[in-house]
Structures are given as structure tokens and as C-alpha cells.
Amino acid sequence: MKVVVFCKSVPDTETRVKLKDNRLDKSEIKYILNPYDEYAVEEAVRMKEAGKVDEVIAISMGPERAREALRSALAIGADRGILVKDDALDGSDTYVTAKVLVKALEKDGVDYGMLLFGQQAIDGDTWHVPGQVAEMLGLPQTGSIIKLEVDPDAGKAVANRLVEGGEEIHEMSLPCVVTCRKGLNEPRYPSLPNIMKAKRKPIQDYSIADLGLSPEEVGKAGSLTEVLSYSLPPKKEAGKKVEGEPEEVVQALVKFLKDEIKVI
Amino acid sequence: MKFEFTEEQRMVRDMVRRFAEEELKPKAAEMDKKGEIFPEIYQQLAELGLFGVYVPEEYGGAGMDVVSYATVIEELSRGCASTGILVSAHTSLVVDPILHHGTEEQKQKFLVPLAKGEKIAAHAMTEPGAGTDVVSISTTAKREGDYYVLNGTKHFITNGKESSIYLIFAMTDKEKRHKGMSAFIVEKDTPGFSIGKLEHKLGIRASSTAELIFENCKVPAENLLGQEGQGFYIAMECYDGGRIGVAAQAVGIAQAAYEEAVEFAKTRVQFGQPIANFQAIQFKLADMATMIEAARLLYLKAAWLKQEGKPYYQLSAMAKLFASDIAMKVTREAIQVHGGYGFTEEYPVERHYRDAKITEIYEGTSEAQRLTIARNLLKG
């Protein structure tokens, strides 16, 4: 069985977000492989090490820096990479992203048994793409799992997902789409020998023309949604402290709740 | 000129930084207190391939370069200075000379397990009567048939307790002075070899520092590294490379202290505002950051020269001299930024301060570095 892991290059969690001309200022951002995708790569590599999977393919759509995210996935243990890169893709929404990734899977021709994703990307945080890909391909899907058992011979997978107050257990036929979260596994640190091996593993590049797509079908033109503006969250203001005797404090507090923030 | 890491170098730095942050930093204070590096750390370092960074793959290493190696030492030291010197002493002072001077048999037998981290190594030159003046060592090695018989005592030996392979320097011909010194690979279980007392130190307390005793210790003749009489030259080469490691370690210690100072300055409120708002603090932080950057560039250049096969001993001496000096200044100022808190064990800067001092001493004191630098620039 082959597993495809979807990888995204995202700003490091310690990045301080700045805006410039109503867009993200990307000049000082350090990029990493989306941490949720690491759980997905780790899970796929573990399935391979357990002998259930014979090839792990990492795929990404993005600018040149997405190659580094793929390289990180290869260093964890993925076998090869696919990178869809094209200037026309700039400004694509999640619908276009899913469409392009599905096209790239078709182009590659990989006979996959499972598509693994991180449950969300820490930048856009939309949680859209896995579901969109599953819908486009007509595949069963589950998400935010903390346990995964795959039986390629029986053609099924069983996944446990956390829900409020308990766990749901989903059984699916293969191929299927699964999204991963913290708790599923502990991603390994890529060892030096594996970083060196990653350098020698192939990454196939595709442009949108290679995938049979026109510029009108991707980017802003092909998107169903549009970001109108960005704004930073308001600066946290200092809290208000009410001091004095209990009777006075209660009076002041009630007055504050009633008159100033009007919640009672 | 290109001031950029390659993709692999960056991946290595990011990985080791994360490893140090998540696995070393939380344990560093406890390891310092207990005076040992925990066994699981050795395991992890070996799994990550950090004991043989620039050893070719055919000898069990990662096949990377010296710049990656030096960066590994900085990042490890940022989490735990003792772990930094564990890897540096292992690599620069034993793995490196076996890689460059070992026979094929010696490489298969010793280099492979060392590069894989299955075994740890220690380098032993220093004796109670011979520090900087290495030619005055009194340990002797006398050829008897297929063996050399070693007698003498080494002390202050880094990794002395946990190693199983030792590189021992001894005089095969005292008359010939430095041309009469030879290097031997000695395995831990060799009869006549024993470990003496362990030192209690000011800093890098988790790193072991041991006394080694040789009493009619019979070492197989095939364990001679290089030629008889080549020991001094092998040792000098070791220290040229080792200084890159110590410089990187010093930068790692300074970086750790600096980060603590920045964090503290931003959160500590005095006179109604974070102390980072005061110029007195800002100037300290600016100086610290500048010194660290300069020291880092020096050791990276030395590492790059070594990798390129160019003469690098001048740069590695400068890097070690400067980096150890700024490590002392930065850690001292980091405590100053913390005020009284910095003097307590509640904050890690007191440990960084203690750890920094040794970088001015081992693998050539700052005075010895100045001599090396001055002799080189005045020669010819």
C-alpha cells in the first residue's frame, strides 16, 4: 500500500506576524513544515516501518520554500516528494489548493491506499483542504485522530478520534482520507544520516501546465473565496483592578458590569 | 562570498536546536546537580548521528561537514554545556585523529563504533605536572615484543568516566623531547588501566573529569596511532580542531545566557515598567548580541577553513580566544540583568556563568591562544 502525506510550509510558531499593504509581510518569516503535518508524516513512516506500507510520498503545493518542507518530510522518512509550484498559484484559496493537489495525484498516477493530512495548518487555520480533497475524490474521511490501525489486506482502516467526553471509532474502507493531530504519535527528530539521505531522494516538480490547468482556473481567478483584508488582533489592554472594602468592591464591580461593558 | 547555511546545514541546526530545547534544556540543571549526563541522552545523541557528524558514511558517520559539526556543538551547548563538550571532546580529540591517522584496521575497529556512538572516547594528554607544557608529560610507553607497556598517570580527562576508548599520549623516547611522544589507542578493559578519582568542578559539572592510571598496561603494538614519535603533532592537530568545538561551545553558553537575559528584561517590572525599557539594560543586551554574533562568525570561518582543507589553526585560536572571553562577559552581564535573582539557582544564568569559565582554560588557555596567534603573525 502507498500513502500520500500532504505537507505545507508555514511560518514558524515563534514568528511575529506583521502586515504590509494589507498582506502578510513575509520578509522576516522563518518557515517550517506545518507541525500537524509532522504527525501525519511520522504516522506514515511508522506504517512503513511496520511493513504495512511500501511507499510514503510527500506532496505540497506552494512557492520554492515548500521544497524545504518536503525535504523535512523526506528526512523523517518519506520516500519521495511532489511539488506543485507555479507563479499563477499565488493567491489561491483552499478550493483551488485541493483541486490542484488532486490533479497532481492524478498526474503522478500513484495508486494510494491512504491520504494523510495534518488536521489544520497553523497559518491559515482553515481546516479545509483535507475535506475538500476527500469530497473531490469521493473518499471516506475522518479527522483529528489519536490512533490509527490499517489493514491493507482487508482493505480497511480503523481510526479513533477525540470528541468531547470520549472517543469515536471510525472504520473506513481504503482508500480513505485521515487527518492527524497531537497525541497520535511523537514525531522523531530527523537524524543526521536521514537528513543526508533526504538530499538524495527525488522531488518531482509540476507546473500548472503539467497538470493540464490554465491560469484562469487557479490563483485568485479560480478561487471561490477572497480575503478582503487582514487585521492584527487588538492589543491586550491592562486589566482593571478594583480595590477597597468588600462592600465597595462589589458595588464598583456591579456598576462596571452594568454600565461599562453592559453584560448585566 | 555567501553567508548562508546550505539546506542540510540549516536542517541540522534546526533539528539540534529543537532537540536541545526540548530534551537537554529541561534536564540541564538536574544533570549539573547530579554530576552526570543521563544515559538516555547518550542514546539519543547516538540515534541522531551526532557522535560522527563529519565522519564519512562508510565509517558509520553522517558524512556531513565541519560547519555542521561546529553548529551542532553550539546548539547542544545552548541546551547543556556539558553535553556540548561530551560530543566535542569525543569528535575533535579522538574521532578526528583516528580518521586522519588511523590504519584501515584501526578505523574499522575503533572509528566505526565511535562514529555511531556505540562507544564514547576520551583524549588524555594532561598530567599533574604537565598542562600547557605538554612535552613534559612523564607517562612512558616502552616497546616489548608485540606490545607497548604504558606507565603513568593522566588527570583532568574529559569523558574519562564513561569512555571505552582512550587516546593516550606517552613518551616513547624522552631524550627526543616532542619528537619522542607517541599516541596510543587504549581500550577500557586493558589490564593495568584503571580510572582514578573524579574531579568536582566549578562548571560543566555533568561532564566527567577523571584521573587515568596506567600500571604496566600492555597495549597491543597495532594500537599505536600514526608513527612512533608522531604523537605531539597528532595532539597539536587535535587541539587546532578542538578549539573550533570549544569556541562553538562558548558561543552556545553565551547565547543561552543572552536569551535568558532578554526574556527576563522583558518581563521584570521595576519603576512601573519592564526593565527592558531602560537604556542601561538595552545597551547590555546590544553588546551581548554583538559579541555573540562576532564570535559565531569566527568559529564558523575556522570550521569552513578546516572543511576546505585550508590552514585554519590561526582562526581556530582566535575563535576560541574570543568566544571564551565573550562567554565570560555575556554570562556575567546576564546575571547583572537578572539582579539578585541571577545569583540564585532559580535561574539558569548562574550555571551558564560557571560553565563559561572552563572555555578559557581547556584545549589551550587564552594565554596559549595568544601565543599561537602572535607567533604566527610575527613569523617569517
Q: Which residues of A touch B68 (CB under 8 A)?
A: 192
Q: Name the DSSP letter for residue A244.
A: S
pLDDT level of residue A132 (50, 70, 90 thresholds) = very high
Average pLDDT of the segment spanning B268-277: 96
pLDDT digits (tens, 9 = 90+) for A104-127: 999 999 999 999 999 999 988 899
Q: Write the ipTM.
A: 0.89
How much is the pLDDT for A28? 81
Q: Which residues of A touch B19 (CB under 8 A)?
A: 189
Domains of chain B: 7-120 (1.10.540.10), 122-229 (2.40.110.10), 232-378 (1.20.140.10)
CA of residue B293 relative to chain centroid, distance: 20
Smallest CA-to-CA distance from B359 within B158, B131, B85, B51 is with B85
The C-alpha torsion from A182 through A183 and A184 to A190, rounded to 10°, is 60
Supply the mean pLDDT for chain B: 97
pLDDT digits (tens, 9 = 90+) for B335-370: 999 999 999 999 999 999 999 999 999 999 999 999
pLDDT digits (tens, 9 = 90+) for B85-98: 999 999 999 999 99
Residue A22 has pLDDT above 80, yes or no: no
Q: Compute the radius of gyration of chain A from its Cα atoms.
A: 22
Of B127, B333, B350, B363, the catalytic one is: B363
The C-alpha torsion from A92 through A97 and A101 to A104, rounded to 10°, is -20
CB distance A195–B53 less than 8 Å?
Answer: no
- Nearest residue of A to residue B55 by CA position? A193
* HEC sequence for B130-162: ECCCHHHCCCEEEEECCEEEEEEEEEEEECCCC
Q: Which residues of A touch B57 (CB under 8 A)?
A: 193, 196
Q: Which of A68, A190, A191 sits opposite B7 (nearest CB)?
A: A68
Residues A129, A36: contact at Cβ < 8 Å? no
Residue A32 has pLDDT above 80, yes or no: yes
Amino acid symbol at A230? Y
The proportion of chain B whose per-residue pLDDT surpasses 90, expressed as a percent, equals: 98
pLDDT digits (tens, 9 = 90+) for A154-202: 999 999 998 888 999 999 999 999 999 999 999 999 999 999 999 999 9
Backbone φ and ψ of B348, nearest 5°: -75, -10
Backbone φ and ψ of A173, nearest 5°: -85, 155
The C-alpha torsion from A204 through A138 and A184 to B41, rounded to 10°, is -10
pTM, whole model, 2 decimals?
Answer: 0.91
**CA angle at residue B220 from B217 to B225, to 5 degrees?**
105
Integer Cα distance of B141 and B173 in angstroms? 8
Residue B23 designated active-site = no
Instruction: Cis check for the bond before A175: say yes or no (omega within 30 of 0).
Output: yes
Domain topology for A2-222? Rossmann fold (3.40.50)
pLDDT level of residue A64 (50, 70, 90 thresholds) = very high
CB distance B62–A196 less than 8 Å?
Answer: yes
Tabulate helix, strand, coil % of chain A (nearest 5). Answer: 30, 25, 40
B21 shares contact with chain A (CB less than 8 Å): no
Amino acid symbol at B250? A
pLDDT digits (tens, 9 = 90+) for B304-346: 999 999 999 999 999 999 999 999 999 999 999 999 999 999 9
B274 shares contact with chain A (CB less than 8 Å): no
How much is the pLDDT for A43? 98
**CA angle at residue B82 from B76 to B86, to 5 degrees?**
80
Average pLDDT of the segment spanning A40-56: 97
Instruction: Cis check for the bond before A63: say yes or no (omega within 30 of 0).
Output: no
How much is the pLDDT for A235? 83
Smallest CA-to-CA distance from B87 within B63, B120, B57, B55 is with B120
Integer Cα distance of A119 and A102 in angstroms? 18
CB distance B63–A193 less than 8 Å?
Answer: yes
Burial group, residue B379, by CB count within 10 angstroms (0-12, 13-18, 19+) = exposed
| Residue limits of CATH 3.40.50.620 in chain A | 2-222
Query: CA-CA distances (angstroms) from residue A206 to A3, A92, A104, A109, B108?
Result: 19, 16, 8, 13, 45
How much is the pLDDT for B135? 93
Mutation target to probe the A interface, by most A beta carbons within 10 A, among B16, B22, B47, B48 is B48
Q: Name the DSSP letter for residue B36.
A: S
Tell me the nearest-neighbour CA distance from B60 into chain A, angstroms: 9
Q: Which of A32, A68, A192 sits opposite B12 (nearest CB)?
A: A192
Integer Cα distance of B85 and B205 in angstroms? 11
Amino acid symbol at B331? T
CB distance A190–B15 less than 8 Å?
Answer: yes
- Nearest residue of A to residue B68 by CA position? A192
How much is the pLDDT for B139? 97
Q: Where are the alpha helices (DSSP H) in A27-176?
A: 35-49, 66-76, 94-108, 129-137
B49 shares contact with chain A (CB less than 8 Å): yes
pLDDT digits (tens, 9 = 90+) for B193-243: 999 999 999 999 999 999 999 999 999 999 999 999 999 999 999 999 999
Amino acid symbol at B216? N
- Nearest residue of A to residue B72 by CA position? A192
**DSSP notation for A11-23:** E-TTPPP-EETTE
pLDDT digits (tens, 9 = 90+) for B26-61: 999 999 999 999 999 999 999 999 999 999 999 999
Q: Which of A189, A191, A196 sits opposite B8 (nearest CB)?
A: A196
